[in-house]
Amino acid sequence: MSFAETGLEPKLLDALSSAGYETPTPIQIEAIPPALEGRDVLGIAQTGTGKTASFTLPMIQRLAKGRAKARMPRSLVLAPTRELAAQVSENFEKYGVNHKLTMALLIGGVSFGDQDAKLTRGVDVLIATPGRLLDHFERGKLLLTGIEVMVVDEADRMLDMGFIPDIERIFKLTPMTRQTLFFSATMPPEIQRITDQFLHNPARVEVAKPATTAETITQRIVKVPPRDDRAKRDALRALIGHKDVKNGIIFCNRKTTVDVVAKSLQKHGFNARPIHGDLAQAFRTETLDKFRSGEIQFLVASDVAARGLDIPDVSHVFNFDVPIHSDDYVHRIGRTGRAGKKGAAMMLVAPADDKHYKSILETIGAHSIAELSVDVDAGDNRPRKAKRYENKDADEKPKTIRPKSKKAAELDTGDKDRKSEKRSRRDGDNNGRDGAVVGLGDHVPDFLMRVSAN
């Protein structure tokens, strides 16, 4: 089937041809026709299947007629992360090259003033993360009553990030007559509840079993010792240093771990850079651009980069940490093996990870994942306690113990004498020396001087 058979107009077909796209993916084949008819669409497909074009193309065709009003966008796309929102905007620019549609991108880390200026002029397409969108709305800079088409992308990721209350609020701010295009890789109960509440008789499009991995990805695990992050870093370096590794994304569960692993790889001469939600937006954008261009070989990431990002030529994915949620495993390794290309995914598994590892196996419908052994330089595996400060990864340095100066020693001796005197006063017979009462000055009450009859 060709794009022409989906019902797209000639201008869009020309844009697709110029971008090098000739054949639609299964999700595009099934989602574009009902979307062009104006129906609500509920799309369920694994990551990397082309969901973005499934809603951008119909939106552009629908918005070709009409004109935007100040502060009243005509369409709205909600994305869970800044990176995914920026990617959607790039798709609109690519597919809408033959249309004169205006667009605004509302994400954190960017000046409110620039975004306000675009909204004031009026935009046809508004792409935003939920938090920044509501910030503009609460400041009175935005009205959502003119929304004709609303898209929720990566809805299950919204759920993981705690955006569901914001999504429900935004739905209620838009007209009931809007068309809703709702896309998710999985359908947990909370997402199902939202679709039942806000979508009207949607065309359900499901092209793959939820939470399945692509057949083009070779999966392996590497067993590592318990509670030994240094051994994990040693194993990771052995994996990424293999000649078959062109580039890769290394996933960690925590932002702090991302920073530690990235710094460790840099110290050992690897071309790596971190990316997570606490970093400045300009740094994150620059890092992604350099990774796409090949200037950076390894991206050390939190799950902010796990879903939706279109990085077409990633040869390997490495899970430094076993994902806590099994669905995240599917999304992480979905960064490789895209568009029919071969990919490889490797995961470091410690004994403490057994529970999460078994959950992943249940999710992907496997009994086990083949184990891979790695050769780690014995010199890097010396006992940590014996050679604590020879660890090249350690940030701390040994404390230098210097002899005390003469004055400091005298002061210290004086302190000890005073403490000893107080101790003797507290613990000695009759609370003092030779029966004397200590601490009341020259006058001692008579009753304290009485000798006990016993």
Instruction: Give SS3 for 249.
Output: strand
CA dist 128 and 136 (Å) reads: 10
CA dist 261 and 374 (Å) reads: 18
Q: What pLDDT was estimated at residue 352?
A: 94
Of the candidates 371, 388, 405, which is a domain's last residue? 388
Written as one string, the DSSP assignment of 42-79 is EEE--TTS-HHHHHHHHHHHHHTSS--BTTB-SEEEE-
CA dist 255 and 257 (Å) reads: 5
Which tokens sit at 184? 């998710």
Burial grade of 359 (CB within 10 A; 0-12, 13-18, 19 or more): middle
Question: Do residue 368 and residue 263 come from a single domain?
Answer: yes
CA dist 163 and 183 (Å) reads: 15
Question: Do residue 239 and residue 340 come from a single domain?
Answer: yes
Q: What pLDDT was estimated at residue 45?
A: 78
> φ and ψ at 371, to 5 degrees?
-90, 140
Instruction: Give SS3 for 36.
Output: helix
Question: Do residue 137 and residue 162 come from a single domain?
Answer: yes
Question: Do residue 18 and residue 103 come from a single domain?
Answer: yes
**Inside any domain, residue 79:** yes
CA dist 47 and 56 (Å) reads: 16
The domain spanning residue 87 has which CATH number? 3.40.50.300
Question: Do residue 198 and residue 225 come from a single domain?
Answer: no
Q: What pLDDT was estimated at residue 392?
A: 41
Of the candidates 357, 388, 419, which is a domain's last residue? 388
**Inside any domain, residue 13:** yes
CA dist 265 and 242 (Å) reads: 14
CA dist 4 and 23 (Å) reads: 10
CA dist 244 and 235 (Å) reads: 16
Domain that holds residue 382: 217-388
Q: What pLDDT was estimated at residue 306?
A: 59
364-373: long-range contacts, CB 8 A cutoff, minimum separation 24: 364/211, 364/212, 364/213, 364/326, 364/329, 364/330, 365/212, 369/219, 369/220, 369/221, 370/219, 370/220, 370/221, 371/220, 371/221, 371/222, 371/223, 372/220, 372/221, 372/222, 372/346, 373/222
How far out from the chain centre does Cα 61 lie? 33
Which tokens sit at 323? 């994902």
What residues form DSSP beta bridges with 316?
A: 248, 344
> Which of 267, 264, 269 lies closest to 252, judged by CA?
264
Q: What pLDDT was estimated at residue 281?
A: 81
Question: Do residue 196 and residue 225 come from a single domain?
Answer: no
Q: What pLDDT was estimated at residue 395?
A: 41
- Host H or E run for residue 217: strand 217-223
Q: What pLDDT was estimated at residue 379?
A: 36
b/e map 155-194, b = 16+ CB within 10 Å:
bbbbbbbebbebbeebbeebeeebbbbbbbbbbeeebeeb
Q: What pLDDT was estimated at residue 211?
A: 61
Strands of 316-361, DSSP E: 316-319, 343-349
Question: Do residue 72 and residue 196 come from a single domain?
Answer: yes
The gap between the terminal CA atoms of the chain, to the nearest Å, is: 113
Question: Do residue 114 and residue 242 come from a single domain?
Answer: no
Per the CB < 8 A criterion, the answer to whether 102 and 68 are in contact is: yes
**Inside any domain, residue 109:** yes
Burial grade of 323 (CB within 10 A; 0-12, 13-18, 19 or more): buried
Question: Do residue 194 and residue 253 come from a single domain?
Answer: no
> How many domains, the chain?
2
Q: What pLDDT was estimated at residue 214?
A: 79
Residues sharing a CB contact under 8 Å with residue 172, sequence separation 6 or more, in sequence order: none
Where the chain has pLDDT below 50, the residues are 378-401, 404, 424, 426-435, 454
Of the candidates 364, 388, 412, which is a domain's last residue? 388
Question: Do residue 226 and residue 202 come from a single domain?
Answer: no
Question: Do residue 334 and residue 381 come from a single domain?
Answer: yes
- Host H or E run for residue 452: none
Q: What pLDDT was estimated at residue 321?
A: 96
- Host H or E run for residue 10: helix 10-18
Q: What pLDDT was estimated at residue 311?
A: 80
| Helix, strand and coil in the chain, % to nearest 5 | 45, 15, 45
pLDDT digits (tens, 9 = 90+) for 286-341: 998 999 999 999 999 998 765 656 787 899 999 999 999 887 898 889 889 877 78
b/e map 205-214, b = 16+ CB within 10 Å:
bebeebbebb
Per the CB < 8 A criterion, the answer to whether 191 and 152 are in contact is: no
- Host H or E run for residue 207: none
CA dist 269 and 298 (Å) reads: 12
